[in-house]
């Protein structure tokens, strides 16, 4: 079966962090996304946790063609199609259902499905996915769990997300089966509230530099 995430995996070759974003207005989405992209983080995960999420995806994709806009918290095929139609180039799910796995086949959008156990990872692999989100990373065993999965499942690559901050990120990125990490620390809520886009850009630059330390 074709690996549904191979194009996404290729794009992540030198991007260590995917910002996990929750926007409450399109204006906020545009400012934050521009700061992140300028700071060197062009892959953005805009989560479907607010009413403006689809509108934000559409606006950012149109305004920042140099970005690779993705959608997070995609739970079903209907949402997968909706984010694709809004301009998202990849979708991220906290888990994987048979319906979502089947719906991703030929959907025209890369899916990064979430797993937390060896059985879930095996099921995702059976469905044709070799690049997976490890979620919730810290709660599901963190670095030791990913090390353990690397033995029996060496063909899998992961993007751990959940509870990861700037201090923990390098430890995850040092693992051979970790391609990148997802995190929201690059977009502090107080920086967004005060419109401090420069601070967000600086945090993005620091996160981008983590790739050079691997």
Query: DSSP string of the chain?
Result: ---TTHHHHHHTTT--EEEEE--SSHHHHHHHHHHHHHTT--EEEEETTSTTHHHHHHHHHHH-TTSEEEEE---SHHHHHHHHHHT-SEEE-SS--HHHHHHHTTSSSEEE-EE-SHHHHHHHHHTT--EEEETTTTTTTHHHHHHHHHTT-TT-EEEEBSS--TTTHHHHHTSTTB--EEESTTS-HHHHHHT-HHHHHHHHHHHHGGGGG-
Min mean pLDDT across 4-18, 39-53, 130-144, 172-186 is at: 4-18
The residue among 5, 41, 9 whose CA lies nearest residue 178 is 9
- Residue 45 known to be catalytic: yes
**What pLDDT shows up at residue 1?**
39
pTM of the model: 0.94
Query: How long a stretch of residues is the chain?
Result: 214
**What pLDDT shows up at residue 24?**
98
CATH topology of domain 6-197: TIM Barrel (3.20.20)
Catalytically annotated residue among 22, 28, 45, 58: 45
What CA dihedral angle connects 166, 40, 141 and 151, to 10 degrees? Answer: -130
Q: pLDDT tens, 153-198? A: 999 999 999 999 999 999 999 999 999 999 999 999 999 999 999 9
Catalytically annotated residue among 133, 147, 189, 205: 133
**What pLDDT shows up at residue 7?**
66
Computed over every residue of the chain, the mean pLDDT equals 94
Between 112 and 6, the more confident residue is 112
Domain ranges of the chain: 6-197
- Residue 189 known to be catalytic: no
């Amino acid at each position: 079966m074709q690996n549904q995430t191979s194009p996404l995996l290729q794009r992540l070759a030198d991007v260590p962090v995917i910002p996990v974003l929750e926007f409450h207005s399109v204006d906020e989405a545009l400012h934050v996304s521009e700061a992140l992209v300028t700071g060197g983080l062009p892959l953005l995960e805009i989560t479907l946790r607010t009413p403006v999420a689809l509108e934000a995806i559409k606006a950012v994709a149109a305004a920042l063609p140099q970005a690779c806009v993705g959608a997070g918290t995609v739970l079903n095929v209907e949402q997968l199609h909706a984010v694709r139609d809004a301009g998202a180039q990849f979708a991220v799910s906290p888990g994987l259902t048979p319906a979502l796995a089947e719906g991703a086949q030929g959907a025209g959008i890369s899916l990064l499905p979430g797993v937390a156990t060896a059985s879930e990872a095996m099921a995702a692999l059976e469905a044709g996915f070799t690049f997976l989100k490890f979620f919730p990373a810290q709660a599901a065993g963190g670095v030791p769990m990913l090390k353990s999965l690397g033995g029996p499942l060496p063909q899998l690559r992961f993007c751990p997300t959940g509870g990861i901050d700037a201090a923990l990120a390098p430890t995850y990125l040092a693992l051979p089966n970790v391609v990148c990490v997802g995190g929201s620390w690059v977009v502090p809520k107080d920086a967004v509230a005060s419109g401090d886009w420069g601070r967000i850009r600086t945090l993005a630059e620091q996160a981008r530099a983590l790739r050079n330390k691997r």
